Amino acid sequence: MILARPLLLLLLLAAIPVVWAFLRKAPPRRLPAGSLMLLRVLQGAPRKRRRIDRLLRLFLILCALLALVAALAFDPAPPAGPTWVLLDDSASMGATGPDGRRIDRARGQLADWLADHPEAPVGLIRLAPLQVELRPSLDHKAMLDFIFAVEPKGAQADPLPLLAGLCAEPTPPRLLVLSESLLLPADLPCPVERVDLGPPTPNQGIVDLRARPADGLGLWEIAVTVAGEGAVALNLSVDGQPSAPSPVTGSGLLWLSLPAGGALRLSTPADAFSQDDEATLKLDGGGSVNALLITDEPQGFAALALGAHPRVQLSVAAPDTPPPPDPVDLLVLEAPLAKPWPEARRVLVLGLPIDGEPGPLLRAPNLREQADDPLLRWVSLTDIQVRNARVLPDSPGSQPLLLAEEGALAQRRPRPDGSALLVFSFGLSDSDLGLRAAWVNLVANLVEEAAPLAPVVVSADPCRASRPPSRPPKAQA
């Protein structure tokens, strides 16, 4: 019960004159008479009883007044909001379990719920794609007609922004969740009711697949990410020619000698959810990468390594040249460039201060260790000779790539737009990095990171059938 009309409590002020009248009632007028002396003695007890009766009447009048105020000021219950059905019609709802398909079980459970709540206004929100399909109404037949006609496909969208607006209403609605994998925060102000869709079905599936040529002799590096319990056995084939199975746990790298131009196919053993059991990828060298190099040495080591890469479309500019307005895939700074910089997926800074005051200058620092980072694959930096370097200051989210005893000499810094800033506190003229094979490998890794991502040919909504806590991170290839 809630206090709907507090101002009606002022009616209690009406009790003041009632109480005052009962307490200040004038006693009866007394007339002296001899015959009354005896009656006063005889009627002493009834007079006391009459006083109790007066107090009892006063109490009953006050209770009646309080009951009147309570009936006017209190509502028996707050108004009930509508019910929104969150229907997960993504591909994972097509998984088959002991009780049949998950979508069929959701249909039956919703029909039973609607039969038990015939007077409840119900609306429908789809999750694949995210949209309001039916507004809250008492037309339960339209709700059943739609859910029995829809077939699971696509990927599940995130409904939290939409639910945050619905739950901010003065009367929060009730949420009826028809999904096994949808996780809602515990502090959501709406009451949440989940429909039992049965026990989770074990599933193994392919989440991500990438490939790149590792050399010019037909060796390919295959980066694959799988989801499932334990190692997942992958069957590989190229243009229909099978290869030996390879077990992978989580994210893994495979090195295979494969012909270029073919179609790589990976598959897992059949299970309850078939739509993530296969992935295909075209084996090609990838598209071109637009690179912009800002340097005072147009024939230096950076220009030579980038220009020699077969995928790089290189533009070289002097520091005083206005940068092009169009975005690029890769921006390499060997010389200062006035901001704003061109938009780029990766930015490599060599020997230039970025933020604030430069760190202390180090002469021939002792390089201690390097990070396990995709940029440093097949790259060894701990054995290079560095003449001059500066310690890089820590920044939010930065990850050290190369460490000396005094601090980090190279860092990976994430940027708000999803790109990355790769900072080296020493340039190629301050070290012998440009003379080593490590520099060529570092440039090759950098080009792969900056390349536009090709579409991953994996079935829609993978790895949802086994209710994993989260999707594994994308493999970097």
Q: Give the bridge partners for 178, in sequence order.
A: 87
Q: Is the per-residue pLDDT at 1 higher than 50?
A: no
Alpha-carbon gap, residue 106 to 451, rounded angstroms: 43
So what's the pLDDT on residue 455? 47
> Which tens digit of pLDDT belongs to each residue from 107-125?
888 999 999 888 889 999 9
So what's the pLDDT on residue 124? 92
**∠ CA 428-430-436 to the nearest 5 degrees?**
50
Q: Give the bridge partners for 100, in sequence order.
A: 97
Residue with tokens 């193994």: 204
* Lowest-confidence segment of 166-175, 273-282, 296-305 by average pLDDT: 273-282
Tell me the pLDDT of the chain averaged across its residues: 77
Specify the amino acid at residue 439. W
CB 311 within 8 A of CB 285: yes
So what's the pLDDT on residue 456? 44
192-194 and 174-178 as β-strands: parallel, antiparallel, unpaired? Answer: parallel
On the question of a cis peptide bond just before residue 129, with omega within 30 degrees of 0, the verdict is: yes
CB 427 within 8 A of CB 58: no
So what's the pLDDT on residue 232? 79
So what's the pLDDT on residue 371? 83
Residues whose CB falls within 8 Å of the CB of residue 26, separated by 6 or more in sequence, listed in order: none
CB 438 within 8 A of CB 384: yes
- 394 pLDDT band, cuts 50/70/90, is confident
- 410 pLDDT band, cuts 50/70/90, is very high
**Domains identified in the chain and CATH numbers:** 83-194 (3.40.50.410), 205-286 (2.60.40), 289-450 (3.40.50.880)
Average pLDDT over residues 421-440: 91
Q: What is the secondary structure of 261-328 as a DSSP string?
A: T-EEEEE----S-GGGSEEEEE-S----EEEEEE-S-TTSHHHHHHHHSTTEEEEEE-TTSPPPSS-E
So what's the pLDDT on residue 286? 64
**What's 378's DSSP letter?**
T
Specify the amino acid at residue 294. I
So what's the pLDDT on residue 332? 94
**What's 94's DSSP letter?**
G
Within 10 Å of residue 139's Cβ, how many Cβ atoms? 13
Alpha-carbon gap, residue 380 to 402, rounded angstroms: 10
**What's 397's DSSP letter?**
T
369 or 146, greater pLDDT: 146
Specify the amino acid at residue 47. R
292 or 451, greater pLDDT: 292
> Which tens digit of pLDDT belongs to each residue from 224-237?
888 777 777 888 88
- b/e burial code for range 336-350 (CB count within 10 A of at least 16 → b): ebeeeebebbbbbbb
> Which tens digit of pLDDT belongs to each residue from 125-180?
998 888 888 899 988 999 899 989 988 887 778 888 888 888 888 888 889 998 87
So what's the pLDDT on residue 257? 74
Residue with tokens 């307490």: 23
> Which tens digit of pLDDT belongs to each residue from 11-44?
666 666 766 666 666 555 655 555 555 555 555 5
On the question of a cis peptide bond just before residue 342, with omega within 30 degrees of 0, the verdict is: no
* Lowest-confidence segment of 1-5, 350-354, 419-423 by average pLDDT: 1-5
154 or 352, greater pLDDT: 352
